[in-house]
Amino acid sequence: MLAEGAAQLQAAGIDTARLETRWLLAHVADLQSSDILTVGREIVPAEVRGAFMAAIARRMAHEPLQHILGTTEFYGLEFLCDARALIPRPDSECVVEEALKRIPANNPVQIADLGTGSGCLLASLLANRPHAQGRGVEANPAAAGLARENLVRLGLSDRADIFEGSWTSWQGWGAADLIISNPPYIASGEIDNLMPEVRAHDPMDALDGGPDGLVAYRQIITLAAANMKPGGWLVFEIGHDQREAVSALLQEAGFAGIDSSKDLGGNDRAVWAQLPDL
């Protein structure tokens, strides 16, 4: 089964074919991946084989592995994952790290996540700051529903809720001690060049950042400069080539303490700044 599935995925251009095949077989057989070693010579039940081949067919069509499995891990937490929102990705974990450095561990703070999607950034912050309260802001009703499901699943719904609407209509700017956001940042002309797993399966409104990829940053920075609590922090995920542009927008808007960090792949990934405390 493993050999057959891996050969099909490899032929479809899946780079990690053997690893993904093992995950898919374990998933449909309701086993841990390591259990396959102990049952490897047993006859596979017909219903498991059918489910496995259906999963392989979906992956051959470049449906994301995380959508087929239904969950994915991010910052040590397991999130429901489907086509309603962007897939949480390891690159974003460094953005969470930088945000956590800017809010005290034992003080009550207010956190907001603009364009929360699956809720992975918000939930990761709340799970590591037990005295914090949070709000996700999400204009896409389907994504907002997924975020709510993840907050309930992770036992965080008593400390967070979801505002269903745009950040332009959200009124909570002045209450937040920290605002985090992974906004759409792909330039419109680059969408067609994305991997099919992203281009065909992630929500377009979470990808398309306008002609230069910076439309959402301009909106958020302008609103934050006018309405955010003095002394509050703004933490962004950015595209690998957007550090200078986003930093310049923050500087022009009057933010201070502007800095950045890289992800595990060595690409610029997080930019943060503080609204001066007048």
Burial class (CB in 10 A: 0-12, 13-18, 19+), 237: buried
Is 182 labelled a binding residue?
yes
Is 116 labelled a binding residue?
yes
Q: What are the helix and strand counts (H, E) for the chain?
A: 11, 9
Is 76 labelled a binding residue?
no
Is 63 labelled a binding residue?
no
Is 5 labelled a binding residue?
no
CA distance readout (Å), 27 to 3, 40, 60, 252? 16, 15, 17, 50
Is 138 labelled a binding residue?
yes
Q: How many Cβ atoms from other residues are within 10 Å of residue 215's Cβ?
A: 17
Pairing of strands 256-262, 268-274: antiparallel
Secondary structure percentages of the chain, helix, strand, coil, to 5: 45, 20, 40
For 83, the token pair is 């086509």
Is 173 labelled a binding residue?
no
Is 118 labelled a binding residue?
yes
Is 64 labelled a binding residue?
no
Is 117 labelled a binding residue?
yes
Is 155 labelled a binding residue?
no
Residues 6 or more apart whose CB falls under 8 angstroms from that of 264 comprise 90, 91, 94
For 135, the token pair is 């709000």
How many whole angstroms separate alpha carbon 35 and alpha carbon 18? 16
For 151, the token pair is 């907050």
Residues 6 or more apart whose CB falls under 8 angstroms from that of 102 comprise 178, 233, 235, 272, 274
Binding site listing for S-adenosyl-L-methionine: 115-119, 138, 167, 182
Binding site listing for substrate: 182-185
Binding site listing: 115-119, 138, 167, 182-185
